[in-house]
Every structure is written in C-alpha cells, then in structure tokens.
Chain A
Amino acid sequence: MGDVRLMKGNEVIAEAAIRCGCDGYFGYPITPQSEIMETLMIRRPEEETGMVVLQAESEVAAINMVYGGASCGKKVMTSSSSPGISLKAEGITYLAGAELPALIVNIVRGGPGLGTIQPAQSDYFQAVKGGGHGDYKLIVLAPASVQEMNDFVDLGFELSFKYLNPAMILSDGVIGQMMEKVELADYKPRWTDEEIEKISGSWATNGKKAGSERNISTSLDLDSAKQEVFNHKLQAKYRAMEENDVRYEKFECDDAEYLFVAYGSSARICQKSVELAREKGIKVGLLRPITLFPYPTKQIQEMLGQVKGILSVEMSAGQMVEDVRLAVNGKVPVEHFGRYGGIIPTPEEVVEALEEKILGK
C-alpha cells in the first residue's frame, strides 16, 4: 500500500494536482471549495515541483489564465463552486472552441443565484449540456469518493489531452468536505519542454520554431464554411468519446428488478438505500454513471430487459433524469427523486420514494 491518509475531498484535489505533474492552478476563493487553493498555498508546490499557483482577481480571470496556460501545452487547472463556474462559462466555451486541454473542478452548491453553500447537484445541465454558448461538450467526471477525487485529477488531464477538450470534475460539498481514507498516487514529474514539444508541438503556443509554422490558439473563424467544418470535427470528437470513454459502475444489478440511477454523492446515498431496500425484500440495484458526458446510455438500455422501473436520484429538481428518459425511451417508467437547495436526501427517504413512485405503480 502506498501513501495512505485521511483527507478531505477538496484537499485531495490539491494533492493529486501536485503529484500528477500539474503545471499551474489558477483560482478564486468560494465556499465550499476554498480548501483546494488553500491546500496548494500551504504545500508550496512552486518549490517542490515548480507548479505555479496563483490567486486570480476573479473567476473570469482564473479561467482565462487557464486558457493562456493551456495554450502553452501545459497541464493547467482551476476550481470553483457553482456561481463561480457560471462566471467561468465564457472561458470554458473558448477552451472548447480552441480545442484546449484543461481541468475544471466544480464543487457544486445549491442555487440558483447565490443560493446556499450546502451541497447540491443542480449544475448537471450546466456541466453536461453546455453552460457556455455554442455546440460544445465537456468531458464530465463525477467522483463518488475521496479516492476518486484523487484519481480523477490525473484521469481528467489524461482525457483532456487525449481529446484536446476541457474536462470537468463535477462534485459537491459532500465529497469535497468529507474525509475518507485515500491512497495517494506516486509523483509524476511535470512534462519537460521536450515532452511538451512531442505531445503538443503541433498546436502549443510556446514560441514559433524556426522552419515550422506558427501556432495560433483561437476559437475564431469568420468564414462560416470553415466554421461548419470545424463544428463537424468537434462533433466527431464527442462521438468518439461516447464510443470509447464511457465510465460507470454497477452495484447489486445482477438480479435487480428495479434500478436507481445516481451519480456522485447521491450514488453513495443510493448504495445505502439498496442495502435498506433489499432488507425489505425489494430487489433494487444501482447504476452509477462515472462519466456524465459521455453518458452511459447503452448501459442503461442493457438493463431494460430486466428492470421494471427506474428511479433517478439527484440533489436537483430533476436534471439527469432527462438523460435517463432519453436512454429508456418510454420502455419502462422512469421517475425522479431529489432534494435540493442544499438538502441531502437520506437513504431512507430514497427507499420511500422508490416504493411510492416506482413500486406503487
């Protein structure tokens, strides 16, 4: 066993960033995720790995620093919570439009507006369906444990460089604020200039090499014909993500007659609900999407021969349930159960909702 510690989800994000060879973090304080930047400031990675950590003047500036750093072929990231992510939406769509890799962490809190600082999952649409303008997608990873907070930092960078597309870790105050046992990854050195040249030389704006074309990091093309071709390319990339990089987990699904679909902290709660429901003789399983985009549509469809009804459980008024319904396409009843505004549902409540909304039918 490697370096095992008891850590908060937010602290782990910072630690994982340092250890995975991240080059730069640019952030702005907002509850409930300020520990990420605070931990980085305490750790002084500048001295250890050379990683740059900067508190920006605003979320807007922070995401644009990420755009600048990503343009150089560097591994850069930012983190925020819901209202801050709304501010970053502009920079995020520019990153997608310029095909730049970057990692954005959203420790979601309840909204709309300033909302609450308590956990919620009401930014699903924003993360998965857009948020900024234009036809773009983020790679969205939804950790359900502190260990996954650790693992998905590296994975997020890996996928974002694989597809040259920004990736988001969509978590919430439950996972961000709780402590669990975590096995930290070994240190990976930051990429050298030579490695960056090899990996990103064809697009990184780190100085025009003699004898080669200059690189331009831009999302602008005033020629509509070219812009359409570019959009086709983006769409093909998103289809490739759907083909190759769907991640999910099944829990007690083998004999399941009913199914919970839930991600992140709700999936943890539903795991308990599965235990409680099975004590009552209800054969229910859990399908946990790990990637929210690309979404495990096929995996839900594969369950349809077996399950009689699906309950989508989210800390929102019903967002992911739309993707479940699209997958199910009317073949079995799909209902939503959610608490929101910062209220976390209890495992017991979820079982009651299953009984009332699905079994009761």
Chain B
Amino acid sequence: MTATTEINNIISEENLVYKKTSVLLDNEMHYCPGCTHGVIHKVIAEVIEEMDIQDKTIGVSPVGCSVLAYNYLDIDWQQAAHGRAPALATATARLMPDKYVFTYQGDGDLASIGCAEIIHACNRGENIVVVFVNNAIYGMTGGQMAPTTLDGQVTATSPYGRDCGSTGAPMKISEMVSLLPGTRFVTRQSAETAGAVRKLKKAIRKGFENTREKKGLSFIEIVGTCSSGWKLSPTQSNEWMKENMFPYYPLGTLKDE
C-alpha cells in the first residue's frame, strides 16, 4: 500500500472531522500569504451554511483587497463603490426585510472614505451585519496610511512613521459606533488562533441572528494582519499585531443589547 492510497483511504465520510463548507467556492483566493481575509471569508461562509440562509443572504463587497470577495462566497453579491457599502445594504435590507444583508469592508473603505455612510447606517440602526476588517493599512493600493494606522507606523504615505500631530490619531471606530443608539451589537475580534476564530464565528453568527430577529445593526470589527503592507512575514505579523494593535484596539464586546 503506497502512502497516497493510505491517505485516500483515510479520507472517507466516517473519518471526517472537518469539511470545507460548500458556501465557500473553490476559486483560488488572490489574498497574500498570512492575510486574515481568507479565514474571515470561511467563517462567514460556515455561518451561512449552518444557519441555512444561503438563498437569503446578500453580501456587499467594498473597494479594497476584498473587492473580489464575491468570487469566494457562493451567494448573491453587490459590489459597491468605495466606502458606500452601507448605503447599498441600507436599501437592500429595507426593500427586502426578510433577507440577510451584510457589508464586508476594510479600514480604508469604512473608516476613511465611507465614514459618513457607516456612521449614518449605524445611527439609523439598519437591520444589517457589518464586517469590518481592520489591518491598519490600505492593502490593495500598496500599503498607504489608513485612519486606523498606529502612531509611528511606517506606511507608503507615512514613510517616517505616522505623525498623529498632523494626521490625527488612529480612529477607534467600534468605540465610536457603540455610542450610537442604532447599534445593537458591537464587538472587536481577531482571527490569529483557533480559539480566536471560534470566538469570531460566534460573533458573526450572533450578528446574523440579530438580523433574523430584526434587532438592528451588528458591527463586528476584526483586527487583522497585512503582511505585504506591513512588510513582515505572516508569523511576524501576528506578533506585531498582538504587541501593537491589541493594546490600542482591545478585543472584546463593547455593546450587546
């Protein structure tokens, strides 16, 4: 018996402990090694499968690295202009109140150019889930400074380190939106360990359950990495995130009503 046949024999229904959800498509992801997007996509796909809402879920993808998110999840998608995903989701959720609508946005998209749209969608308490991936940098355009970039952090447009004196302080969006009465659930999660991924999945599931119960807006921030933009290896990125991001963007639930 060769090694390959041996492995193939092991892969059988009765031995399965993990299976990729069918909501996640087989298209090869364009994300860089070590990027957090892939894990977050998988978690959302699993929640959609487990809640059996594939035919009722509409995702709204942003402009940024996850602009092509629609290539990876087997659901209906709308691809928004930069920052405008919450506006699309607002209309979609209001016009089809029995559907599950979520936006998937990065920190440049949500916290910079789309600041007005997200604040007002939160304030109106739209019945949607917002998945906000914060890696403190613009990934797709080549590692420029974002509103969430940390003090002193080197990026392509802050080559000597971010100077908060002239560019403002990194924005704590979750804290900001948690102050708005329209938000029901605001949490900050991560995805760098198996335990963190399990907690993230619980949070995303809670978000979609809130939609089902018409509770209003669930805001799920995920502190993630950008190895390419940070110019670190995936392992170093996780370390850097824990040392620098977590103290400034503490994990945990800010609001759960």
Contact = CB atoms under 8 A, between A and B. Distances in A.
Direct contact of A and B (CB under 8 A): yes
Given A72-B96, A214-B76, A206 B81 contact: no
A219 B116 CA distance: 23
Contacts of B56: 207
A218 B81 CA distance: 9
A30 interface: no
Contact of A64 (B54, B77, B80, B95): B80
A90 interface: yes
Contact of B58 (A54, A56, A67, A206): A206
Which residue of B56, B74, B80 has the most chain A CB atoms within 10 A of its CB atom? B80
Given A23-B95, A24-B94, A210-B55, A61 B84 contact: yes
Interface in B180-239: none
A293 interface: no
B57 interface: yes
Contact of A216 (B54, B77, B92, B96): B77
A147 to B, nearest CB: 29
A45 to B, nearest CB: 13
Interface in A22-36: 23-24, 26
Interface in B101-139: 116-117, 119-120
Given A64-B117, A206-B76, A207-B99, A71 B55 contact: no
A77 B107 CA distance: 30
Contacts of A90: 81
A23 B110 CA distance: 27
Given A24-B95, A61-B116, A68 B79 contact: no
Contacts of B90: 54, 61, 65, 68
B31 interface: no
Contact of B88 (A54, A64, A74): A64
Interface in A50-95: 52, 54, 56-58, 60-62, 64-69, 71-72, 74, 76, 90-91, 94
Interface residues on A, range: 35 or more
Interface residues of B, number: 32
B75 interface: yes
A76 B120 contact: no
Contact of B87 (A64, A74, A98, A216): A64
B253 interface: no
B91 interface: yes
A61 B60 contact: no
Contacts of B99: 206-207
A205 B93 CA distance: 12
A26 B91 contact: yes
Interface in A208-259: 208-210, 214-220
Interface in A97-144: 98
B146 interface: no
A214 B77 contact: yes
Given A54-B94, A206-B58, A61 B120 contact: yes
B177 interface: no
B116 A67 contact: no
B78 A71 contact: yes
B67 A65 contact: no
B95 A57 contact: no
A205 B78 contact: yes
B102 to A, nearest CB: 12
Contacts of A24: 91, 94-95
Contacts of A217: 77-79
Contact of B76 (A60, A65, A207): A207
B77 A218 contact: yes
Interface string B62-83: 0000011010001111111100
Contacts of A220: 67-68, 79
Contact of B70 (A58, A64, A66, A218): A218
Contacts of B120: 56-57, 61
Contacts of A61: 84, 87, 90, 116-117, 120
A201 to B, nearest CB: 11
Nearest to A204: B76
B91 A205 contact: no
B122 to A, nearest CB: 11
A67 B96 contact: no
A345 B92 CA distance: 44
B44 interface: no
A60 B84 contact: yes
Which residue of B57, B75, B79, B88 has the most chain A CB atoms within 10 A of its CB atom? B88
Interface of A: 23-24, 26, 52, 54, 56-58, 60-62, 64-69, 71-72, 74, 76, 90-91, 94, 98, 205-210, 214-220
Nearest 10 pairs of A and B residues by beta carbon: A68-B88, A64-B87, A218-B79, A68-B91, A64-B84, A69-B91, A205-B76, A57-B120, A65-B91, A61-B87
12 contacts: A52-B95, A54-B90, A74-B95, A76-B91, A94-B81, A206-B58, A206-B76, A209-B55, A214-B74, A214-B75, A217-B78, A220-B68
Interface of B: 54-58, 60, 67-68, 70, 74-81, 84, 87-92, 94-96, 99, 116-117, 119-120
